[in-house]
Amino acid sequence: MKSGVDDHVLILRLGLFGSCYLFVSLRDLGFRKPKFTWWNGREGAGPISERLDRYMGNSSFCCLFPHAMVLNGTVAYLDHLPVVFDSLYSRPRPLVRRPFRFEAMWVGEERCELIIDQVWNNMRTSLGMEEVLHLIKGCGEELASWNKVSFGQVRRKLNEARNELARLQIIHSSHLDTGGLGRARKEVQMWLEREEIMWRQ
């Protein structure tokens, strides 16, 4: 119910939505766990959880995306979970090594500048293209190693916290047990804040 909206206006809007829903033959596309998309944030006495958010589609839409899956995601400080439509969910995805890429958060880092200087100061007066490519590769390897040590810990901890929150949300969906959800949300938020600080450095 919205404040300031007359009941008859709300009923009219709901009726129009229902007519549109039937006209285009929409249906609920289902979801992958967790079961609930909204929680009132209370642990112990008085917790309420519902599946308020959903993804809709008709048969034509489903034919366009036959391998699709709707995923209820994980979030720390919102009462609604994100509902994600993955159009390629069930297709096999080959494991490929992520190519090196210069990260924007490295800009301004003294160590980053030192690594680049050290690698390029080893070059001779004149270099062929093959030697230049070799230097670029070496520079990338050094930067990747430094990144893993300097920034990997925060990302690892954030991923662990997100996985724990997702695990507790699935347990909550099955057993209506909210124990630990609040703490897990705070843990994710803490590592998100640290990641933001890391990006600002």
pLDDT tens readout for residues 18-30 = 787 777 778 888 7
Instruction: Give the model's confidence band at 147: pLDDT under 50 very low, under 70 low, under 90 confident, else very high.
Output: confident
Question: Are both 115 and 146 inside the same structural domain?
Answer: yes
Alpha-carbon distance of 80 to 43, in angstroms, equals: 16
Question: Are both 117 and 180 inside the same structural domain?
Answer: yes
Give me the number of domains the chain comprises.
2
Alpha-carbon 73 to chain mean position: 7
In a domain, 60, yes or no: yes
Task: Supply the range of the domain harboring residue 115.
Answer: 104-200
Percent of the chain predicted with pLDDT > 90: 0
* Residue 77 reports pLDDT greater than 60: yes
In a domain, 92, yes or no: no
What is the residue-averaged pLDDT of the chain? 76
Nearest to 55 by CA among 33, 32, 85: 85
CA end-to-end span of the chain: 44
Specify the pLDDT at position 201: 55
Question: Are both 111 and 71 inside the same structural domain?
Answer: no
Specify the pLDDT at position 175: 63
Question: Are both 78 and 110 inside the same structural domain?
Answer: no
In a domain, 161, yes or no: yes
Question: Are both 54 and 112 inside the same structural domain?
Answer: no
Question: Are both 76 and 113 inside the same structural domain?
Answer: no
In a domain, 166, yes or no: yes
Specify the pLDDT at position 127: 66
Question: Are both 125 and 61 inside the same structural domain?
Answer: no
Which of 5-9, 53-57, 60-64, 106-110 has the least mean pLDDT? 5-9
Question: Are both 81 and 123 inside the same structural domain?
Answer: no
pTM of the complete model: 0.40
CA distances, 74 to each of 14, 29, 71, 159, 199 (Å): 29, 19, 10, 11, 22
Alpha-carbon distance of 90 to 66, in angstroms, equals: 9
In a domain, 1, yes or no: no
Question: Are both 110 and 192 inside the same structural domain?
Answer: yes
Question: Are both 116 and 31 inside the same structural domain?
Answer: no
**Cβ burial, residue 37 (10 Å; 0-12/13-18/19+):** buried
